[in-house]
């Protein structure tokens, strides 16, 4: 773990004061509230996924939705750093409240939207709230647990997926049957704030208690002029650094999906300009972040990247999500409908297997970490399973693959992902001090999302470039003109009545999609390959013996750790 940590920011000092005033009951209330919120957001994701087609159909404008999805991915990638900084600068209560507010605004705007532009802008608020909540949940776990228990508690927020992936579609269908798609969004604007109240009350009451006990409780705003507040926020939030990162990611990734449909494609001046400016800002970003004068409190602290575990861990996160977005999401579902001729229900259930298996495996590995005190070996194991799953998926991409085989590939990828995700995040957090644990978590989750955005952009570019071309190439001459209709409407390309199995048209359609899926899966395999060697660069921390950096009441204690170590039958005796 790193030494020589910088002076604590206001939010960190506040949560350390609150941690000293936690009682067992108040901590339980906070975690129950967080689990309640996790159940709501997990169910919401499943339900609103069914609402989107009905919402866009009501506007009769599908063309903007794909671009909105890319923008949403970019927002997901860049929102985590500012939210992590807000938590450090202002405090956990304030940042949680902001994310719930953004989440609620997104729900209300989606429910009340009358055109696709309003609906699209609502996705930005939703993405900001969702991803902000994700990073804050992990920061809260880091604030309230020791390293040995952290992996287990960080997986608590994934547990709801064990039931929501199956229950969500039924809830969505009931809403559509008994109400309208608008209530599929609007209902969460009521439910989520109510579920947040117990957490807000718990944090607020402990803040008041900490003040009464005389703990340091600074404010970022009190006693300062407007100029001083702005200046402090400029440096504390690293605003220009955030703008550089957002510009770099947006300007580099957006052309990958926009160019295939733009005039003159990659020769379009706008595409060239975006790539050039994005490249320049990406080069400028590390220079800004490493300048002590320009970015004294960088959200990517340079000293973090002098640790090999942080470097390897963030790269693993990047390649892990990049491979996922080149394989399982977003086009595997379409492939199942078109090439495999699966029903909507069956295709949906197959794609949900990943979420289910990754959640189960993450819980299992968290328990194993808790009782062994190590994490590195499971990352190496997970990388092998993940890579194997990608390879099997590539081998069995053909239309004659059985349903059992398809499910098996998703189980393998999910198990590998579960063994990668939690241990790697824990290793990165173990490399940081408490002052920088929020920054370390933010960096890790940001690179995770950037990898997903890169994978999504590449898969979108491959899909939109190759499928139209291959359809024109393989369709019978009398049907070649229909390629735009087949490509643009999944109900047409998956229609086995109009294009029955064995017909020249169906053979052509399936061949085009199979060959394109092959390219995506080769890309996924290449992206996943570096994960295995990178796992060897992780430091093999003995989590149970590391110095506890978290102040105040936390889950787990040195006494408890000693008792557990004494009771481990596999622990070697150090006595002569």
At 185-239, the pLDDT tens digits run 999 999 999 999 999 988 888 778 777 776 655 555 566 677 877 887 788 778 8
- Using DSSP, state whether 207 is helix, strand or coil: helix
376 and 263 within one domain? no
Q: How confident is the model at residue 445 (pLDDT cuts 50, 70, 90)?
A: confident
Residues 134 and 104: beta-carbon distance below 8 Å? no
426 and 368 within one domain? yes
164 and 63 within one domain? yes
Q: Which of 228, 261, 296 is the last residue of a domain?
A: 296
190 and 108 within one domain? yes
Q: How confident is the model at residue 528 (pLDDT cuts 50, 70, 90)?
A: very high
Tokens for 527, please give them.
């992206």
Distance, CA of 106 to CA of 121 (rounded, Å): 8
173 and 46 within one domain? yes
197 and 175 within one domain? yes
Q: How many domains does the chain have?
A: 3
Structural domain including 72 reads 10-214+547-575
User: What was the pLDDT predicted at 19?
Assistant: 64
- Give how far Cα 44 sits from Cα of 75, 148, 167, 169, 524, Å: 19, 31, 11, 10, 29
Q: Which of 296, 323, 341 is the last residue of a domain?
A: 296
Q: Which of 262, 296, 330 is the last residue of a domain?
A: 296
User: Do the domain assignments include residue 323?
Assistant: yes
Tokens for 327, please give them.
């394989």
Q: How confident is the model at residue 548 (pLDDT cuts 50, 70, 90)?
A: very low
Q: At 476, which CATH number?
A: 1.20.1250.20
Distance, CA of 291 to CA of 495 (rounded, Å): 58
User: Do the domain assignments include residue 2?
Assistant: no
422 and 529 within one domain? yes
467 and 385 within one domain? yes
354 and 500 within one domain? yes
436 and 570 within one domain? no
pLDDT one-digit tens code per residue, 59-83:
654 445 455 666 676 777 777 777 7
CB crowding 550-575: b at 16 or more within 10 Å, else e: bbbbbbbeeeebeebeeeeeeeeeee
| 279-299 average pLDDT score | 88
User: Do the domain assignments include residue 202?
Assistant: yes
User: Do the domain assignments include residue 142?
Assistant: yes
How many CA atoms lie less than 13 Å away from 459 in the CB half-sphere?
Answer: 31
563 and 479 within one domain? no
Q: Is 27 exposed, middle or buried (0-12, 13-18, 19+ CB in 10 A)?
A: middle
141 and 262 within one domain? no
């Amino acid at each position: 773990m790193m030494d020589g940590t910088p002076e604590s920011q206001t939010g960190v000092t506040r949560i350390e004061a609150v941690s000293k005033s936690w009682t067992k009951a108040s901590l339980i209330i906070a975690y129950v509230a967080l689990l309640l919120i996790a159940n709501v957001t997990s169910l919401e994701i499943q339900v609103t996924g069914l609402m989107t087609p009905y919402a866009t159909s009501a506007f009769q404008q599908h063309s903007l939705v794909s671009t909105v999805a890319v923008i949403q991915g970019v927002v997901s990638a860049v929102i985590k750093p500012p939210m992590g900084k807000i938590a450090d600068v202002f405090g956990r209560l304030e940042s949680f409240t902001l994310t719930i507010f953004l989440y609620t605004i997104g729900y209300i705007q989606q429910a009340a939207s009358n055109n696709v532009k309003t609906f699209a802008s609502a996705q930005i608020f939703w993405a900001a709230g969702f991803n902000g909540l994700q990073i804050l949940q992990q920061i809260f776990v880091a604030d309230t647990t020791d390293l040995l228990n952290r992996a287990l508690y960080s997986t608590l927020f994934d547990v709801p997926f064990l039931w929501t992936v199956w229950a969500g579609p039924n809830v969505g269908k009931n809403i559509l049957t008994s109400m309208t798609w608008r209530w599929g969004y609007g209902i969460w604007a009521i439910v989520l704030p109510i579920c947040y109240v117990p957490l807000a009350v718990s944090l607020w009451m402990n803040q008041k208690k900490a003040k009464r006990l005389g703990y340091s409780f600074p404010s970022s705003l009190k006693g300062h002029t407007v100029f001083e507040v702005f200046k402090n926020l400029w440096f504390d939030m690293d605003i220009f650094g955030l703008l550089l990162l957002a510009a770099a990611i947006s300007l580099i990734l957006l052309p990958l999906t926009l160019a295939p449909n733009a005039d003159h494609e990659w020769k379009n001046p706008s595409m060239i300009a975006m790539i050039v400016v994005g490249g320049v800002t990406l080069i400028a970003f590390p220079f800004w972040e490493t300048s002590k004068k320009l970015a004294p409190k960088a959200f990517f602290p340079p000293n973090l990247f002098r640790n090999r575990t942080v470097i390897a861990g963030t790269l693993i996160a990047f390649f892990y999500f990049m491979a996922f977005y080149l394989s399982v999401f977003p086009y595997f579902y379409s492939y199942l409908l078109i090439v495999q001729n699966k029903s909507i229900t069956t295709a949906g259930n197959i794609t949900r297997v990943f979420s289910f298996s990754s959640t189960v495996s993450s819980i299992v590995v968290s328990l194993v970490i808790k009782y062994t005190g190590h994490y590195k070996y499971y990352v190496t194991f997970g990388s092998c399973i993940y890579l194997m799953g990608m390879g099997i998926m590539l081998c069995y991409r053909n239309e004659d693959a059985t349903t059992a085989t398809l499910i098996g590939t998703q189980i393998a990828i999910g198990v590998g992902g579960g063994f990668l995700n939690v241990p790697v995040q824990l290793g990165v957090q173990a490399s940081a001090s408490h002052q920088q644990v929020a920054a370390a978590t933010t960096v890790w989750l940001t690179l995770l999302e950037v990898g997903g955005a890169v994978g999504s952009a590449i898969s979108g570019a491959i899909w939109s470039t190759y499928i139209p071309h291959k359809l024109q190439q393989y369709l019978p001459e009398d049907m070649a003109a229909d390629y735009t209709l087949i490509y643009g409407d999944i109900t047409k390309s998956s229609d086995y009545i109009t294009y029955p199995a064995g017909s020249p048209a169906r053979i052509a359609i399936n061949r085009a999609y199979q060959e394109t899926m092959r390219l995506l899966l080769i890309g996924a395999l290449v992206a996943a390959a570096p994960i295995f060697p990178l796992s060897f660069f992780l430091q093999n921390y003995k989590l149970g013996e590391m110095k506890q950096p978290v102040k105040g009441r936390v889950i787990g204690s040195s006494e408890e750790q000693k008792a557990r170590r004494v009771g481990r039958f596999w622990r070697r005796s150090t006595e002569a």
